[in-house]
Amino acid sequence: MAGRKTAVANGAQLVKLCMELAAKLGLQAREQVVVARRIWGARRRIDVVLTDPVTRKTLGIECKFQGVEGTAEEKIPSVIQDIAAWPIPGIVVFAGEGFTENMKSFLISTGKAVEFEDVEPWLRLFFGLELE
């Protein structure tokens, strides 16, 4: 997927595409994994949890889509903070034309976010898989 754009239409499709990529890479994937509670008491769910079946190395993925500009991107910094409370490493995978360039720059600067079109090589490096 590296080097070519994949049109993502909504958040559910982004989750599905992450699951498909996991299968392609030989990783186990689970959706909507419940992990404890957030500070205000709501159940914390991780959109996708990937596990290498050999090494058992695990990664959580929070999928964020924004099709048009709006205030949804204002919630993203709290998502980055929430990932720090997960019991496993995690990243935000984001897609959509609605993210401003400033938000994209912020996300990438955290080291905890990857645009969907760039996620395959990132996952290959993280899990120690062969690079294409």
Report if residue 19 sits inside a domain.
Answer: yes
Report if residue 1 sits inside a domain.
Answer: no
pLDDT computed for residue 3 by the predictor: 40
How far is CA 27 from its chain centroid? 15
Per-residue pLDDT at 124 exceeds 90 = yes
CATH of the domain at 92: 3.40.1350.10
Query: Which tens digit of pLDDT belongs to each residue from 39-55?
Result: 677 788 899 999 999 99
Report if residue 86 sits inside a domain.
Answer: yes
pTM of the predicted model, to two decimals?
0.87
Query: Which tens digit of pLDDT belongs to each residue from 65-108?
Result: 988 877 667 778 888 888 888 889 999 999 988 888 988 998 89
Per-residue pLDDT at 25 exceeds 60 = yes
Report if residue 103 sits inside a domain.
Answer: yes
Residues found in the chain: 132
Domain count, the chain: 1
Report if residue 132 sits inside a domain.
Answer: no
